[in-house]
Structure 1
Amino acid sequence: MSQSDRDPPASLATLPTEIADSIYYSLPPATLCILARVSKEIYAAVQGPLYRRPVISSQRRLQAFVKTLNYVASWDKKTGDARSKSIAHLTLKIDPAKEESTTGKPLIAVILARLIRVITRYNENVTISLIITHSACDAQPVRSFESETFPRVTDLILDLGGEPVTQQTPSSSTMNTVIPVRRNINQRGYNNTTGVRCVPNSKFWTRFFNGASFPDLKRLELHHRSRAGPSYDGGWASERILFTELDTLGLARIERLVVNSVPEFNDAVLMAGLQHAPLLTDLQIEDCHVTYNALDKLLLHALPILHKLVLRVSPHSSFARHARDALNVRGMRNSKEEVPHLCPHFRRGGKNLKHFEFAAPYICRDLFLDDYEKEKLRESGHPGTLAGDDSGKVVQGALDIMLVTGIVKRLRQTRDTDSRGNRLLEGSNMEEDRKILERERSLRTRKATIEREGWTRRLNVLEGMCIDGDTFEELATLANVEEPGIAWTLGSRPERRAFRVIGEIRETVRYSHEFEKDRPRRRTRQVERDVNDDLLGH
């Protein structure tokens, strides 16, 4: 047999199209770029995977990318439509400080918007994630967002935090001015940007909420973290911000909102977002200066419709301290006074949360128990009746785990079966039987859903309990009798203890491993890199 009669050696070019595509789509862009230089056949084959979900990290590369799209574009002479590479999702990660250092010119919003519009012209169904790092509230390109339109940007992540510096304003010696700074990559330190006071104002939020600058925005993340943590704790939480109806049109499409240490965020912004965002299912508020009164209203209305909630209150929050002091005044307190207590809301409205994290200075067992269950525990003679007696005296004693779990389980089982049992004894009809069967079916479906989706709960007690006498140990015990299948992680910063609880199984874990990210970041050179690693990992 001659050499020419033999089968050609196997290669990527000779593989069936379906197998080759599955290989190409699993490879990273860098590998695809190398393969594209192998041969004309492979170059043509990798074009789809290479351009389907590109990631671009600078304005120069974005300009080169758009130049390539223009070069290979095709036009329909009849309709005027243009088509180029097929892009499903584009991720832009741009550092304005690096751009300015490289080109000598600031990255301005108008150029960024024009480049994005070219891409959307060729791919009308593309979705875009825009990530801006090392910027500032009053620096380019953020300050000019409201003057431009960024179509098909569905995800917007802004890192507005450098190390804030505090300066005295000429008009007042008591009001501090917080000016965020950007990194200068040519120096070890930071350079100030020309900024304005980072205080609650409608102009800052309108560019994100009005639906004009970002008409397709669904997920918004704003991170204003600094190395020293939140440095603003003035009287801005109650400062009024007025939004017109046009200012909030874009909120109707928002599904995810993350605000992390954002000085411009206060009660008024929170209430506006709550009222005009019917599709919001993922909400994360971390170390923002909002009052407990506003959070009380938020949890009352938003918990039943949210799928994910992350609420982290600063350990130095004066609102948390005030609420705790009011809760521990017995007898003499005005019965008409409303005390904003966040813990009971999670028990009443948080049953359908797939995931929630709650880190606050004070947390208590009201997150698990209602008044009827607490009363039955008191009647049982439990030595740690931790809410105190009628005179306000705290009765401290050892926690009887068997007694607490036994009573709570029995009460909940009785409540669940009483109505069904009474109807069956009285004689049921077919309609009642059907309802009982439907309820049992829904419970089985819910249990399977919880196990499949891995529902989780995380609690981090930063200072202590809401009520004098309550203990962290009791929280871990009560988590044992919660709904089966949901994983609880509970930590106490003062005690440096943490537990992981799933059903009746409880194990001790290291607090530092589970809740290290909840602690204020130390002043190290690596913090800035860590912040952006967190941003890009969302």
Structure 2
Amino acid sequence: MSEFGQEPSASLATLPTEIADSIYYSLPPATLCTLARVSKDIYAAVQGPLYRRPIINSFRKLQAFVKTLNNVASWDNKTGGARSKSVVHLTLMIDPAKEEGATGRPLIAVILARMIRVIARYNENITISLIIAHSACDAQPVRSFESEQFPRVTNLILDLGGEPVTQLSPSASRTLNTVIPVRRNINRGYDFNTTGQRCIPTAKFWTRFFNGSSFPDLRRLELHHRSRSGPSYGAGNWEGERILFTELDTLGLARIERLVVNSVPEFNDSVLMAGLQHAPLLTDLQIEDCQVTYNALDKLLLHALPVLHRLVLRVSPHSRFARYAKEALNVRGMRNSREEVPHLCPHFRRGGKNLKHFEFAAPYICRSLFIDEYEKEKLRESGHPGTLAGDDSGKIVQGELDTMLVTGVLKRIRQTRDTDSAGQKLLEGSSMEEDRTILERERSLRTRRATIEKEGWTRRLNVLEGICIDGDTFEELTTLAKVEEHGIGWTLGSRPERRAFKVNGDFIDSVRYSHEFEKDRPRRRERQIERDVNDELAGH
């Protein structure tokens, strides 16, 4: 056959547009940058996927990116505004210490805000994740946020501990819906450590995030203040000082859906109560090692648990509030009967049934998280705990745990509770409306079980010191988890005993405590080469 009779070889350029687009949108930015150099046709075809979700990890790359948008911008006669590359989501990660080391000048908020406004002008529906690493509360650009406006920033993550975070938590990565490139650990003599008297609760620190003016589109806020030396708390007894917010200071809280505060010394009872009161859409809350009292947490759990979908609460093992609560719970007859003991465990049983993910780490945790007073009384009548007794850490020192007795009694009680009301109505001759109500309830329970299994609901408990009530044991918590709703996965750990278990229904698996509860501990990292694909991206 002559060469004129040969069919042309297949290539990306000859594929139908729909098939080619599905391929391009599945490729990473580095591959798209390589394809863009193949031909003019492919270069034009990959522009949409290439700029759809860009990741920019330095101010220099941000400048080049904005320059590209300006160079290819055109006037849209239909909308009467400028248009450029179509960007759906931008992940912008800035390390102020690195930028100052490279340029000799601090990165100020006004310049950063100006760049973001340019991008937002070209893409009205864009969402932006802004991550500030290796910064400090009183350093640029954070200290000047309240003077500028950052439109379309829906996710804001601030690392204020003076050290860069090289890897985000899995939950943060899912929130951003993207992959954050690894950053180098910058150590050039700059000391942005924010420990000391400077970091105290003030309204000014929070209004820049809560007022709805500086970040008018903010939905998810994360503040991380942890350093290698531990939580960054200043000296003094300031955790109870009241912070007053005006109505204008908290307008932006009405749009907040996720709030993470990790070892933030500016966070106290007043800030917590303000966030609770003015954030009706808040469904994802994480509080870790912050100086909030058990009285404030008691109120938080009472009001917020029924509406939250995800809760992570980690109380410092050195919390004097936790120690006071344990002492008060174990005093018999000497404590003032009018004094309310801030006991957190019962709240999770009462209001936490709809949490898709729940994580609780505290010095003291007890079985009140699983069972109420009526169930405790029935267990006692059945002979539990008998001779069972534990030491201060919850380890059994006397007796033996009767697992069959505990699970049998609780299953019988709960099954009776579920069927009593329905059975009584049937015996009395229920009406059609009552029958319909019963059927609807059964249908709701089936739907709930299917939802739990599909979404994989989880619970994690980490006992840091011991059990709330003297004499109770950690093994009992593991047994009680077996009787909880089917399909919910439990992970329970005891730091004093260095033991951990996974519980799902009737199955209990022993796992390594260090693997389950110490994943976030600093590890030695091998030297990594930072792959810079954004230089290629910003030049087109």
Number of matched residues? Answer: 502
Q: Distance in 1 between matches of 2:193 and 2:299?
A: 37
Q: CA deviation at 1:5?
A: 2.1
Please give the residue correspondences for 1:237-386 in structure 2 after superposition, counting only pairs within 5 Å: 237-384=239-386
In structure 2, the gaps of 5 or more residues are 165-183, 391-395, 529-540
CA contact (8 A) 1:383 1:395 kept: no
What corresponds to 2:82 in structure 1?
A: 82
Q: Distance in 2 between matches of 1:491 and 1:483?
A: 20
Q: CA deviation at 1:103?
A: 1.3
In structure 1, the gaps of 5 or more residues are 165-182, 389-393, 530-538
State the superposition RMSD in angstroms: 2.2
Q: Distance in 1 between matches of 2:389 and 2:474?
A: 13
Corresponding letter in the other structure for 1:101: G
CA distances 1:489-528 after superposition (whole Å, capped 9, x unpaired): 000000000000001111111101000136xx45x77599
Corresponding letter in the other structure for 1:119: I
Q: Using a 3 Å threshold, how does the CA distance of structure 1 residues 140 and 526 change in structure 2: closer, same or farther?
A: farther
Q: CA deviation at 1:383?
A: 3.6
CA contact (8 A) 1:362 1:463 kept: yes
Bigger relative CO (Cα 8 Å, ≥ 6 apart): 2
Q: CA deviation at 1:291?
A: 0.2
Q: CA deviation at 1:193?
A: 6.9
Corresponding letter in the other structure for 1:200: P
Q: Distance in 1 between matches of 2:9 and 2:87?
A: 33
What secondary structure does 1:517 align onto? Answer: coil
What corresponds to 1:198 in structure 2?
A: 199
Corresponding letter in the other structure for 2:264: V
Corresponding letter in the other structure for 1:135: S
What corresponds to 1:415 in structure 2?
A: 417
What corresponds to 2:29 in structure 1?
A: 29
Q: Using a 3 Å threshold, how does the CA distance of structure 1 residues 254 and 6 change in structure 2: closer, same or farther?
A: same
What corresponds to 1:535 in structure 2?
A: none
What corresponds to 1:179 in structure 2?
A: none
Q: CA deviation at 1:104?
A: 1.4
CA contact (8 A) 1:384 1:396 kept: no
Q: CA deviation at 1:19?
A: 1.3
- 1:479 equivalent in alignment to 2:481: yes
Please give the residue correspondences for 1:74-153 in structure 2 after superposition, counting only pairs within 5 Å: 74-76=74-76, 80-153=80-153
Q: Distance in 2 between matches of 1:186 and 1:496?
A: 35
CA distances 1:5-59 after superposition (whole Å, capped 9, x unpaired): 2111111111111111111111111111111010001001000000000000111
Q: Using a 3 Å threshold, how does the CA distance of structure 1 residues 384 and 93 change in structure 2: closer, same or farther?
A: farther
Q: Distance in 1 between matches of 2:398 and 2:331?
A: 18
Corresponding letter in the other structure for 1:490: L
Q: CA deviation at 1:347?
A: 0.1
What corresponds to 1:442 in structure 2?
A: 444
CA distances 1:298-319 after superposition (whole Å, capped 9, x unpaired): 0000000000000000000000
Q: Using a 3 Å threshold, how does the CA distance of structure 1 residues 402 and 238 change in structure 2: closer, same or farther?
A: same
What corresponds to 2:66 in structure 1?
A: 66
Corresponding letter in the other structure for 2:35: L
CA distances 1:335-382 after superposition (whole Å, capped 9, x unpaired): 211000000000000000000100000000000010000001111112
Corresponding letter in the other structure for 1:154: T
Q: Distance in 2 between matches of 1:373 and 1:402?
A: 15
CA distances 1:388-418 after superposition (whole Å, capped 9, x unpaired): 9xxxxx9953211000100000000001100
What secondary structure does 1:508 align onto? Answer: strand
What secondary structure does 2:486 align onto? Answer: coil
What corresponds to 2:401 in structure 1?
A: 399
Q: Distance in 1 between matches of 2:131 and 2:79?
A: 34
What corresponds to 2:167 in structure 1?
A: none
Q: Distance in 2 between matches of 1:371 and 1:194?
A: 46
Q: Distance in 2 between matches of 1:362 and 1:194?
A: 30
Q: Using a 3 Å threshold, how does the CA distance of structure 1 residues 457 and 284 change in structure 2: closer, same or farther?
A: same
CA distances 1:197-236 after superposition (whole Å, capped 9, x unpaired): 0000000000000000000000000000110211426412
* Fraction of identical pairs, as percent: 83
State the TM-score, normalizing by the size of structure 1: 0.90
State the TM-score, normalizing by the size of structure 2: 0.89
CA contact (8 A) 1:396 1:469 kept: no
Q: Distance in 2 between matches of 1:213 and 1:42?
A: 40
CA contact (8 A) 1:139 1:194 kept: no
CA contact (8 A) 1:163 1:190 kept: no
